Amino acid sequence: MDQLKSTADLLDLHEIDLQIDKLLDERNSLPELDEYKKAHAEVDRLDGELADARVALKAAELGLDKATGELEIAAEKAASEQNRLYAGGISARDADYLRREVEMLYAKVSRHEDEVLEFMEQKESTEALVEKLESAVTTTTADKDRLTGVIQERWRMIDKELAIKEERKEVAVTLVDEYLLDTYDDLRQRKEGRVVGRLADGVCGACHLSLSAAEVSMAAKEDPARCIHCRAILVV
């Protein structure tokens, strides 16, 4: 009778373990976890793009400052040389040379103006990109934080249930013979799902396969009784 009681208590223990397994699986497979991972990866990606965009913006700003400075210097020199040309008082040969010099200087001014315009366009487009990425980072980070809150709340509820089951398990373990626990733990390590089942009307409660009268007799000769099909511990 004690042995029957011990196997019955083992079945109760197994039910608790299966409930714990279900809770742990639920804890590790929350749909929000996949969403969080995606949001986290997206934030990392956006942060990387934003960092690159800020570097590009800084380069455009520096380029614009340099090009603007060079334009001012070139324009000032071109205007000065042109004033000398218009002032007269120089030979025809020197005037011709100075005229060509002024043309070269204004060509240089034109190139610097093109550079300034190019850097202004780069700066404008990069500023727009930085603004867009900053907005995306803010939105995605907020979504990630929201998911963090949802996950933590779900985990809190699951952990509360787990604590209750673990307390019940501590009591259930004390009711089962040690040799049964050893066999049970070994089965749990090697197999998933049910490893203990009640034998009712010749049907194994673990694999749900039928055992003939001879097979039931054979199974009952083992200590503990084991299903001949799935090798689960049978509660006879």
How far is the CA of 8 from the CAs of 14, 75, 132, 201, in angstroms? 10, 99, 64, 17
Q: Is residue 79 part of a domain?
A: yes
pLDDT at 4: 54
pLDDT at 3: 52
Total domains present in the chain: 1
CATH at 119:
1.10.287.1700
Q: Is residue 15 part of a domain?
A: no
pLDDT at 84: 79
Tell me, what amino acid is at 180?
L
Q: Is residue 176 part of a domain?
A: no
Q: Which domain holds residue 118?
A: 30-163
Residues of the chain with pLDDT under 70: 1-5
Decide: pTM greater than 0.75: no
CA distance 49 to 15: 51
